[in-house]
Structure 1
Amino acid sequence: MIAPRVRISVYDLDRTITSLPTWTPFLLHAARAVAPWRLAALPVVGLVALSRTDRDRRKELMHRLILGPTLGTAAATRLAEDFATRLTRDHIRPGARAQIAADRAEGRRIVIATAAHAFYARAIADRLGVADLVATRAKRDAAGDITPMLDGPNCYGAAKRAMLERWLADAGIAREDAHIRFQSDHVSDAPSFAWADEPIAVNPHARLRALARARGWPIVDWGG
């Protein structure tokens, strides 16, 4: 007897589930709450964000400029909880809520895979009732405080696919035993789209819309 395939739905977070990106809004939220004087660094942060520096290093530099050299666990938790409450109240796409509910009703395992830092993305996932999270990790110091350095790759592009493959293996699920639906708004997720059984472009930007049309992938609008 052939075992039934494990049905998995993977969601990107920024601009797929949410109507706006989360990293810069989280940094601004944190600075206003704990160190408003760091907002003076915003022009430099903007230059870093627009620079050609490696994406991972950009994230580390932006973190250091706005959050400083360390962020205590208690402070990080408090900031993440408050940010997630506001974000999920005001900036979740209606279609994302509906699709997550539909997937849950079908018995699908739901995963959020995101370049957002896990220390705040976890709070967002919790509010959406999603247990499985694949996200960028921050390195912690000897005291357990969060530093600007990444602990592993930024969960973006090809690295996101590799991290999803690792998650699947860690979950004890063979790829051939899984049916994977992957949903994202951005062409940077092309490696994960190619890996999925059912790729879906959600509110795609121009380059992903063109790729989806060329590959025959469904294109959906989940609203603002």
Structure 2
Amino acid sequence: MNLTLFDLDNTLLPIDSDYEWGQFLVRTGIVDAEEYRVANERFFEQYNDGTLDIFEFLHFVLRPLVKLDRAELDALHARYMTEVIAPNLRPAALDLVRRHRDAGDLCAIVTATNSFITRPIARAFGITELIATEFDEVDGRFTGEISVAPCFKDGKIARTEAWLAARGLDWSSFGNTTFYSDSANDLPLMQRVKQPVAVNPSGRLRDHALAEGWPVIELFR
């Protein structure tokens, strides 16, 4: 059996689901439009240039979530899926995932974006296994705290290894291990697998992939 891991934002999706969730909250009036928009843009730029303070960003993301009960959040997310995610489920990405699933690979999405946002998106790709940043909940409400180490940079390796260990597996359990990503933030996990694949890569990742002889593919034009 092979293990195939996928980043989500700008890899399987041609958008960043975390950033677009923020923009969606602005459009729906859940947050103060100008204040939130400016902060969302700043964090997005920091992510792209590799300087993001993940804990500062996650607490920013959590603030509007703790104000709403789960029914309100689920209704908002259903609308977000319809308005934002569904139009960005591209055939090339769906086919890539389908090929690995049909081959019998163990597939998982490994993303820094929190599981509240990403679990329904993973299901839309037919992937049941999600390794994501997790927020604490009590009785269905978010507490404002992060439950485990963020699934970001080196944290993606730690979280993936914990997920494997919970299933009685490790890296040696697989004939091949593959990780698809667009971002240089994912270099730690890309260097851990046998077959890293740069997908729609950022400039920094493209340069690194070409220097290392890694495959480079473009799912979106």
Matched residue, 1:118: 115
**Higher alpha-carbon Rg:** 1
Match of 1:30 among 25, 28, 45: 25
Cα deviation digits, residues 66-99 of structure 1 (max 9, x gap): x164332122222222222334421134321111
Contact 2:17–2:117 under 8 Å retained in 1: no
Contact 2:85–2:121 under 8 Å retained in 1: yes
**Deviation (angstroms), 1:46:** 4.2
Distance 1:81 1:198 in 2: 35
Matched residue, 1:41: 35
Matched residue, 1:144: 140
- 5+ long unaligned stretches in structure 1: 1-5
Contact 1:10–1:113 under 8 Å retained in 2: yes
Does residue 166 (structure 1) correspond to residue 162 (structure 2)? The answer is yes
Matched residue, 2:203: 206
Match of 1:92 among 71, 89, 92: 89
Match of 1:108 among 105, 124, 131: 105
Moved more, 11-20 or 150-159: 150-159
**Deviation (angstroms), 1:31:** 4.4
Distance 2:31 2:85 in 1: 27
Moved more, 144-153 or 168-177: 144-153
- Percent identity, aligned pairs only, is 26
Distance 1:113 1:37 in 2: 28
Secondary structure of 2:197's counterpart equals strand
RMSD of equivalent CA atoms: 2.2
Amino acid at match of 1:58: F
Does residue 135 (structure 1) correspond to residue 132 (structure 2)? The answer is yes
Matched residue, 2:74: 77
**Deviation (angstroms), 1:202:** 0.4
Matched residue, 2:3: 8
**Deviation (angstroms), 1:148:** 3.6
Contact 1:70–1:148 under 8 Å retained in 2: no
Amino acid at match of 1:29: F
Amino acid at match of 1:71: L
TM norm structure 1: 0.86
Distance 2:66 2:102 in 1: 44
TM norm structure 2: 0.87
Cα deviation digits, residues 2-52 of structure 1 (max 9, x gap): xxxx2121000000000011112112323444x446224235524752576
Amino acid at match of 2:32: R
Cα 1:25/1:148, change in 2 over 3 Å = farther
Amino acid at match of 1:61: F
